[in-house]
Amino acid sequence: MYLNPRIIALYDHYTHAPLPRRVFLRRLARLAGGAAAAATALALLENAYADQVRRDDARLESGYLEYGGIRCYVARPKDTAGKLPAVVVIHENRGLNPHIEDVARRAALQGFAAVAPDLLWPQGGTPADEDKARGMIGALDRRPALANLVAVVDELAGSGKIGCIGFCWGGGLANQLAVNSERIAAAAPFYGEVPDVLDVPRIKARLLLHYAERDPRINTSVPVYEGALKAAGVQHAIHVYPGTDHAFHNDTAGARYSREAAELAWSRTMAFLKDALR
């Protein structure tokens, strides 16, 4: 089913701003042409979880550990001797949910020790209710969340080189982690908010930046960020994926998911991290 780009933009606004669900549904019905059409569109937009890598995949060891004082989901290849490069997987504004844990397992299958922190852990942990999780993220002060991430990275420091991946809200934090931790050797933010350009010279990591073509909320700041990266001599690459919307990598994101773009961005990210962390 074709979805009007205005409907996708409305859903993006709903998931990133304090817009009450009843208001969102009323506006959706107006755009879709009625309640029945709105229900069909909503089914195509909302998340439906389906793991690409099973939780009990025999090739992996996975579970929950505490790093930096917060609970993390960790996954690594089974029966591997010695240190592995670590990849911190930073969740979206829905918290540490099954999708992000699946992404961590995908990274582990590529030979990394993947660590996905629950940045809502100090508030009691990520709830199952996505709307509640989104509200908690919206109320979260990013400074302590960033401090928690830095603490996770510091505790992982003995394991070898460290990189990070972040998506949406977590993409912004991946950028911030590159600014605030010299232990980060490589960062791959997906459609994340950019840091203050005055902080860009502090970045020591290599960057691989992924953006959706139809994502003005994020993209308006990218040219200035790119200019600051060039001026500071930060090694980076930027990819904009044609015809895509925010959250295109998330295979549980319904109509916004683009399999072709997601697979290309993921293959680029894994090649980038393997080169930077080994």
Tokens 């930096």 — which residue?
A: 68
Residue 2 has pLDDT above 60, yes or no: no
Of the pLDDT bands very low, low, confident and very high (cuts 50, 70, 90), residue 196 is: very high
Q: Tell me the C-alpha to C-alpha distance, in Å, between residue 9 and each of 12, 50, 85, 214.
A: 5, 24, 37, 9
Sequence-distant (≥ 6) Cβ neighbours of residue 243 within 8 angstroms: 213, 214, 258, 261
User: What is the share, in percent, of the chain residues with pLDDT greater than 90?
Assistant: 74
Structure tokens at 168: 């949406």
Structure tokens at 81: 């001797």
Sequence-distant (≥ 6) Cβ neighbours of residue 98 within 8 angstroms: 49, 51
Of the pLDDT bands very low, low, confident and very high (cuts 50, 70, 90), residue 5 is: confident
Lowest mean pLDDT among 73-82, 136-145, 233-242, 269-278: 73-82
pTM: 0.86
Q: Which domains does the chain have, with CATH numbers?
A: 5-45 (no CATH), 60-277 (3.40.50.1820)
Q: In the predicted model, what is the mean pLDDT of residues 18-47?
A: 70
Of the pLDDT bands very low, low, confident and very high (cuts 50, 70, 90), residue 73 is: very high
pLDDT at position 1, please?
46
pLDDT at position 84, please?
94
